[in-house]
Amino acid sequence: MALYLIANGPMPTTAAQAVVTTGTAIKTLLQLSSSATKPLKIVEWGISFDGSAAAAPIKCELVETDVAATVTAHVTAGIIKLDGEALAGGDPVTNLLPVGTAATGYTASAEGTIAASRILDVQLVAPTNQYVKQFPLGREPIVQISKFARIRVTAAAAVNAYCYLVIEL
């Protein structure tokens, strides 16, 4: 199986990775779409905030949903190949990780109406802090075929965030 890292923004080149503001309503910062033929396995996820003062914690969710948020579409360059198998395996976007405004992308402009979801991890994280979860081998959550993995946040006051998912395909 090949490992990939996907962050909540375009692939950085001459500038740093772009941050995304949380806002004060629920917001999907990163969304991954599993393919119609193969589930995806979440190996690790993380989120960090740039708040400068302690305040109410931010609700952070790693969730599987049945409906896509409307997002900025990711592109192949933003899906980072982490291991030799991924580097040798070609382009995962072609058939294993669909990209698009209703597929894999970041910074949701609309959440969609979710009928079914599964919480895969949930945390309260201070706006001056970060959280990283690496799932134990053999206990990684699976995102089912034709479902969506989302990192969602709800903040009392807007701050900027980085987040990412490491997946196995």
- Give the pLDDT of residue 12: 84
pLDDT digits (tens, 9 = 90+) for 43-72: 999 999 999 998 999 999 999 999 999 999
Q: What is the DSSP string of 133-148?
A: EEPPTT---EEPTT-E
Q: What is the pLDDT of residue 101?
A: 96
State residue 10's pLDDT score.
87
Sign of CA dihedral 103, 104, 110, 114: positive
Residue ranges of the chain whose pLDDT lies below 70: 94
pLDDT of residue 94: 64
Q: Is the pTM of this model over 0.85?
A: yes
Q: What is the pLDDT of residue 99?
A: 93
Backbone angles phi, psi at 111, to 5 degrees: -85, -20
Instruction: Specify the 3-state DSSP secondary structure of 86.
Output: helix
